[in-house]
Structure 1
Amino acid sequence: MTASEHALHPGQQLDLTGQSGLTALPTPAYVYELEAVRAAHEQLVAALPHPSTLFYSLKANPHPALVRELARLGCSAEISSRGELHAALQADVAPHRILYSGPGKRDDDVVAAARAGVRWFSVDSPRGLDQVRRAAEATSIPLHSLLRVHAATPLAGRGLAMAGGPTSLGADAEWIEGNPDCFRDGIHGLHLFLGSNFTAEADLIRQFEVAIASARHLYDVLGLPLERLDLGGGFGAPFAQEGTLPSMPNLAKAVADLLDDAIPTWRDGRPEVVFESGRYLVSTCGTLLSQVLDVKESQGTPVVVLESGINHLGGMSGLRRIPWIVPHFDGPAEREPGPGSLVTGPLCSPLDCLAREADVGRLRPGDILRIPNTGAYGLTASLVGFLSHPQPLEIVTDGGRVVSTTRLAMTRETLDPAVTLANMEVT
């Protein structure tokens, strides 16, 4: 079935249980439940030391309804592009509550963000500091820089480490220590984000221990009164698998104790302590519904072709930039057991593989599979432009009732060649 064969209206109650409920919905579709966003936010805030500020990282999912709900709950926004800036502003995030990060920024993006009301920028080098200074001079707007630090200490755990090896993310701590005069001018805080998607509380505590120790040392090296200490996040969450958010009962006290020892004035807001999270806040709110288009056999292996592949889910995994995902598929309630299946999308590429030897039973074309915990790093982290298939609907619900239905679209603009060339630097 296609989206045009169905109608969704605000207030409609969705039934995501059983094939009868699923086949009555347009597919492919992402369904985001705001109740789950509120529950995740409450759980994370309870696990953080107080006082502290929580930023939502839009890279996890920039859907305006999710960003707006998190802003309403008190989250600030961490962005890394002009597009994410537009998404945050569209979702009514106050500009002064936005942090613009990322290892490379164009001059005009920094100026545009400043003129839109953004005041805080995370930078990775002396050039980044100078870029923010020049933007402040060009706009006559006071701007603040967080210096992102790349710690040399490698971290253990099952997450995605951002410390220890060469990286574009941050300035090496040794570089800062050896050349403090290159970094002092214009710094208003430090930014240490050492890893991502740690599901074990002990691993999270260890990364914050390293971050806080590095911050304390660099406070002494730079000799500056810093306004903000951004400790990043790394809070893990299930992805495309059944599961619940990890609990962190000891995290708040452990991090508070570390801060008390290293920077005791933090309890008075000097500096303001900041945390960031993307996947923990929105992962469990999302469900991807995808129809079976074809079922066949190849060299004795059942092959299930879905209408969603790496263009809709896990595109970065499909490119093998990050470990392969192993999605959980919840299909027809009554199904015969069958051998493990190769589950693919509809793309003309052998990389378009969502799972191997998946336990999906014996499926038929027209069946709908439900892939849970896909609210983070789903659609916008995928190869949305490859082969130009229509994008899934994105259906936002609250208590199971439809709040909004939208579809992401890619468009091509025709530009005036004279204007385009005037904006290009020709050497």
Structure 2
Amino acid sequence: MNEARGIERTVEAIYRAESRRVLATLIRLLSDFDLAEEALHDAFAAASERWRRDGAPANPRAWLVSAGRFKAIDRLRRRARFDASLTELAERLDAENQDAAMREAEEIEDDRLRLIFTCCHPSLPPDAQLALTLREVCGLTTEEIARAFLTAAPTLAQRIVRAKTRIRDAKIPYEVPARTDLPDRLDSVLHTIYLVFNEGYSASSGASLTRHDLSGEAIRLGRLLVELLPEPEAIGLLALMLLQESRRPARTSPSGELVLLADQDRTLWDRKQIEEGTALLERALFSRRFGPYTLQAAIAAVHANAPDTGATDWGEIAGLYDILLQADPSPVIALNRAAAIAMRDGPAAGLALIDAIFARGELLDYHLAHSARADFCRRLGRTADARASYLQALSLTRQEPERRFIERRLAELGE
């Protein structure tokens, strides 16, 4: 009984660690997302049964890929009784994949990168690129992605189905583009990796402030991308993610409560990540061909290398945001710039900038904008305005630690 339970725990651990890698290889071998997902689950079901009898293999990943491939071929042959065209497909897959097992361990890392380039193909709408990447590359459930998008789960599911159909019907190749085409495809991949990281760095909903599995996955994908294509912005994005991730241990209290930057215990920051991120930033800056991700990394480096909030060079940060806003004139960047200027020039200056953003009709549904406005009003002694903005932020917040933080701020303001 204990041995069987041990195998079950082994299978569960391998599923958590390897399932997305196995899926990526199965998609390459089978050229079909849905068939590969069925094969993945069949392979793990077979592992639970076979490993209990024979013990876990020396190379579980290769075993699972091989099992999944043959399970898929069996499925196709069973279905061929109703659709004769599937017989030819099953025979072709069987012939093509006879020698695949020996290559799988060597190619599996590239398979993850192939998959993300497929999911981020420019013929897919941006929201479909992100949804498909989160579903297939990162393994989030449809419900989790729907919450992240603040979208109904059936709507999100249809978005993913349409993306898969588009890939199949347009015969979008499951491959990393040729090096000559790669830079043109890079922007959508970088954007998707960054959005995956953001969901891990600050979860859009749920009980936890962060999701280390997602931020870790984004960093891993960023490393693969830099290895494949060491373009300055790919390097800059990896630097940004490492510098931001270095602060994760200090961003929540032991009980899971949100800790603001000014109150964080900086001895908890990961110095190795800061050193690596800073070195990558210098490498990207030295190229003189950098863009918004590198500029954001430069801002993160100013924070990471300051011993405390009081020693932070807010003038440099505000100046970097001025440049960043020109390169990426988005309302979220404008909001972050307002926060930096508030630290440099006082809360009234920041409040004026946020009110200007709202006057343009931007960020009205973004809880962090209302939280920032509330904080500026609180610091200015405008209690009624602060309370109103905190209540608006609370109505828009879906993450429990942030909700509790706002509720504490409201309690501090009193009636």
TM value normalised by structure 2:
0.24
Q: Which structure is higher in helix share? A: 2
Larger radius of gyration: 2
Provide the TM-score with structure 1 as the length reference.
0.23
Higher strand proportion, which one?
1
